[in-house]
Structure 1
Amino acid sequence: MEIKAAVTHGKGEEFKLEEVRLDDPKDNEVLVKIVASGVCHTDAVARDQDVPVPLPAVLGHEGSGVVEKIGSNVQTVEPGDHAVLSFSSCGHCENCLTGYPSYCLYFNDLNFGGIMNDKTKRIHQGDQELSTFFGQSSFGTYAVANARNVVKVDKDVNLSLLGPLGCGIQTGAGTVLNKLQPKFGETIAVYGCGAVGLSAVMAANIVGCAKIIAVDVHDSRLELAKELGATDVLNSKEMDIVDEIKKITNGGTNYTVESTSVPTLARYSVQALKPLGVSAVVGVTQETEFNVFEDIMAEGKSIVGAIEGNAIPQLFVPKLIAYYKAGKFPFDKLVKVYDFDEINQAFKDSKKGTTVKPIVRIA
């Protein structure tokens, strides 16, 4: 079928809305009419080739929409269902089978390699094949995704808001609720108050952390962090973050979530922990330096990576929606909606920090 999609032709180029051809879903796949798609930093790093994705491609990986057609083997959704699209996984490797699909042994191939689970492509433009992103490519009017990517959601929630639950918001909240699992009364610092970091703040508030310290360089985002449950907010341009956090917590936090991708802050996130503390790094952070003895070993600290919030999307996304409906997870406060033809502006506003979580309305 002919669809309209935002095509990325070359490194760093702006998105171009163009006609492309989308194949029908295969036996284990689902055709979804896309209502909206979140704009995520991962889309930007793919466009700019900081993470290599074969180009040309149709990016977008936080899609929400309505199921239009299903393959013959699909039993989890049916036409008319509302759905959120999440990351791709194989379903048969050791990590998938033990409940860790975000650590699928084939995660990079299936999400960044431009291919579907059967190693073929679904999007074409003339004689050229276009790469799929995260097994969905939701920057288009329709998307084909493997059933493992598709999460059925309640019809009584605004579907256009829900796409970011499939990646960015799931990552922040899941890193707290699934990976770190802080206990009531423990302390946490969150570095970066974008959509991922603020989702971590909301999750820490749900748990009942005694101190939730938000760190950013934008005062507007710090104010929003306070509204969402942060007990303390710190502008890292104005102070020694490590010293200040240790003063606030009488020695350091139990946990940190580092979402900024800034190497220096990755180091600070460890240095500001108390002994036995754990720092979860979720940003695409490049090289940095640690004094392994002083920063880590001597105080029994840990640095862990967290992908997609350790989530099984079909189980976790509905939980986040339930929290949202109960007024405990107001992620809609992060959102600004753009029309499809404003997609390049949405990315610019995200980079500048003027919009926390852009959502592109497609239908």
Structure 2
Amino acid sequence: MLLSSGPEAGEVVEAELDDPRPDEVIVRIEAVGVCPTDLATRRALGDRPAVLGHEGCGIVERLGADVDTLGLGDRVVISFASCGRCGQCRAGHPAYCDLASALNASGRRLDGSPTIHVGDEPVFGAHFGQSSFAAAALTDARSCVPVGDVPPEVAAPLGCGFLTGAGAVLNVLQPGPGDRLLVVGGGAVGTAAVLTALSDGVEVVVAEPVAARRELAVRFGATAVASLDDPLPSVTHALDTTGRPGPLARALALLRPRGVLAVIGLGPTTAAIDVRALMLRGLQLRGCVEGDAEPSLLVPELIRRHRQGSLPLDALVTTYGLGDFARAVADQQAGRTLKPVLVPTG
């Protein structure tokens, strides 16, 4: 497992997973995406030892006694954890699960028990219900979605990053042919949103400072600008992946009357919003977590589009060895890689 205990990337160490409980499984990881949330969590944990990673894909290796929805040998993508019982989960919105924080960010199971030990010491695990920067991950069966023969490096980011961008388009904004969508930020999440909207015949404009990312968006069929200060047309829908006050205000200003802006980026906790314009022009401002997706429904739909050729997610992925985490992050931050995916070798 890739164990980190501070701002450094960490080291690959031997670790021990707990045995699966009746509703849990162990997945042998074939690929795991690197997401900025992993880096933010690492910073927040200070020097606390942790195994992170929350976009795992692999083969089901062990089944808990009560698991009947999966079989040994199934290839699955592991998404975020949810309880499946609260009102939000029952309504099809598990990203807003009443227990989301405890299940995804506490580093342990709900009962406080650890899932990973290094030597005799428990470490922060169960990250987003999995901790998949590892050769194997322990997770709730509910978090696993079978993906068939899709290459694991393509399927892995469907656990979070690709799911978030695509879900924001399909579940929250819902633009259609004749609409124009502005995507602020052309990283992995933003580009997944771009591809999804284009696959539905939506006109897309991307604002992204990194030239290579703009070029990629244009190659797929979008229009791209370096800055929101560039001349831009009005839009019916907008998606902000930055969470920064300036882009949020500019995106709202570009919306046509009754337009919708969804925010999926985490930035400063406050931003100045023109409430008068929001009201008089009938605008909507929406938050969005994990694409407001039910992974068991959205992941198969995205795989269907990928197989049909309308959602070329493979073009967004670059693979690295598990021990190359630091290089993967550096390449992503420099714009050399859009979506780094680690491939454990043992």
TM-score scaled by length of structure 1? 0.91
C-alpha distance after superposition, 1:161-204 (max 9, x if no partner)? 21001100010011001111112211110001111000110111
Unaligned runs of 5+ in 1: none
SS in 2 for 1:204: helix
C-alpha distance after superposition, 1:190-249 (max 9, x if no partner)? 00111100011011112211x31011001110110112231x21101xx624xx22xx3x
- 1:97 maps to which of 86, 90, 113: 90
- 1:27 maps to which of 13, 22, 33: 22
1:53 CA drift (Å) = 8.7
- 1:150 maps to which of 144, 164, 172: 144
CA contact under 8 A between 1:136 and 1:145: conserved in structure 2?
yes
The 1:145/1:331 distance shift into structure 2, 3 A limit, reads same
CA contact under 8 A between 1:53 and 1:114: conserved in structure 2?
no
CA contact under 8 A between 2:5 and 2:49: conserved in structure 1?
yes
- 1:240 maps to which of 223, 229, 243: 229
Distance 2:173 2:339 in 1: 24
- 1:36 maps to which of 15, 24, 31: 31
Distance 1:113 1:219 in 2: 38
Cα RMSD of the aligned pairs, angstroms, is 1.6
Distance 1:263 1:356 in 2: 24
Distance 1:222 1:67 in 2: 38
Identity %: 39
Partner of 2:71: 78
**Counterpart mapping for 1:61-140 below 5 A:** 61-132=54-125, 133-140=127-134
CA contact under 8 A between 1:184 and 1:208: conserved in structure 2?
yes
- 1:13 maps to which of 8, 14, 26: 8
**Counterpart mapping for 1:185-224 below 5 A:** 185-209=178-202, 211-224=203-216
Partner of 2:269: 287
Instruction: Output the amino acid matched with 2:89.
Output: C
Unaligned runs of 5+ in 2: none
The 1:120/1:358 distance shift into structure 2, 3 A limit, reads same
Distance 2:134 2:212 in 1: 32
Instruction: Output the amino acid matched with 2:155.
Output: L
Distance 1:53 1:120 in 2: 21
Partner of 1:56: 49
Partner of 1:229: 221
Distance 1:271 1:214 in 2: 16
1:280 CA drift (Å) = 0.5
1:345 CA drift (Å) = 0.8
The 1:54/1:26 distance shift into structure 2, 3 A limit, reads farther
Distance 1:53 1:235 in 2: 35
Instruction: Output the amino acid matched with 1:19.
Output: E
Instruction: Output the amino acid matched with 1:360.
Output: L
TM-score scaled by length of structure 2? 0.95
1:164 aligns with 2:157: yes
SS in 2 for 1:134: helix
C-alpha distance after superposition, 1:238-285 (max 9, x if no partner)? x624xx22xx3xxx2111110123332122221211111111110112
Partner of 2:278: 296
CA contact under 8 A between 2:212 and 2:335: conserved in structure 1?
no
CA contact under 8 A between 2:249 and 2:273: conserved in structure 1?
no
The 1:229/1:120 distance shift into structure 2, 3 A limit, reads farther
Question: 281-290 or 306-315, which moves further after superposition?
Answer: 281-290
Instruction: Output the amino acid matched with 2:225.
Output: L
1:268 aligns with 2:257: no
C-alpha distance after superposition, 1:46-88 (max 9, x if no partner)? 1122xx6993211000001000011011111111000101000
SS in 1 for 2:285: strand
Distance 1:325 1:142 in 2: 27
